Amino acid sequence: MTLVQRRPRRKIVAPPTAPGPIEGERLATALAALAASDADLARAIAEVGPPPPRSRPAGFASLLDIVLAQQVSTASFRAIAGRLVAAIGVVTPAGILSLSETELRAVGFSRQKTIYARGIAEAVAEGRLDLDAVARLDDEAAVAELVKLKGVGRWTAEIYLMFCLARPDILPAGDLALCEAARLVKRKRRRPDEAALRRMGRPWQPWRSVASRLLWHYYAVKVRRAVAPLPAAADETQPAVESNG
């Protein structure tokens, strides 16, 4: 009797059944589910309404934007992004690599972000990072692939999955502003740490991305300071957003 050897399962998964940004009816479904699972989120939705649209196309340019937006104001990020487009046009790995370190610094890149940007561009150009393949991985496998890049930590990877790949169940619990927003919504005396926020977020599955967007939106309305981690694209008409790196 011949035994058939089974191939090991791969981590690549099929595309989501409802691809594209989580907006419209899909967002309404998610918010209804969150409200049913968490009374505090239900109250937050009633007080501030749904979070504004926020998405970016998948790819190198958006990943670079997330890195550039860290620890700078929205105005600074947009100024740097504008000078970069003026210098190379469409933002591609080849375009980044065509600029010297001096030229990137003149655009507004810090020394560290110059190293990160060139490293990511080289990884894509050389085929060591295939962002189309990353988009077919499950969440944890995609994060693991992205964090191999210098300058890309778990937070950056999770933000890319949330806003660029429209993954519905991402909770970037290392985001301090998100932790503070959770404290406000949950009416806690102390801000939860990363582990506590992950525990808090278990009932929000499988819509933790939407819960995160709601928390950032709640904070923006109540404290009058927007803190969502990726500035709105130029064609999005919501308030400016400050990166919280």
**DSSP string covering the chain, please?**
-PPPPPPPPPSB-PPPSS-S-S-HHHHHHHHHHHHHH-HHHHHHHHHH-SPPP----SSHHHHHHHHHHTTS-HHHHHHHHHHHHHHHSS--HHHHHTS-HHHHHHHT--HHHHHHHHHHHHHHHTTS--HHHHTTB-HHHHHHHHTTSTT--HHHHHHHHHHTS--SS---TT-HHHHHHHHHHHT-SS---HHHHHHHTGGGTT-HHHHHHHHHHHHHHHHS----SSPPPTT--SPP-----
CA distance 173 to 158: 9
Count Cα atoms within 13 angstroms, Cβ side, for 168: 20
Share of the chain above pLDDT 90, in %: 77
pTM for the model: 0.85
Residue 71 reports pLDDT greater than 90? no
- Around Cβ 235, how many Cβ atoms within 10 Å? 5
The per-residue pLDDT for 13 is: 39
What the chain holds in terms of domains, given with CATH numbers, is 24-48+169-223 (1.10.1670.40), 60-163 (1.10.340.30)
What average pLDDT does the segment 59-65 reach?
Answer: 97
What average pLDDT does the segment 218-237 reach?
Answer: 68
Q: Which of 1-15, 70-84, 191-205 has the highest mean pLDDT?
A: 191-205
The per-residue pLDDT for 72 is: 85
What average pLDDT does the segment 37-62 reach?
Answer: 96
Share of the chain above pLDDT 70, in %: 84
Provide the CA 93 distance to its chain's centre, in angstroms.
20
- Around Cβ 154, how many Cβ atoms within 10 Å? 15
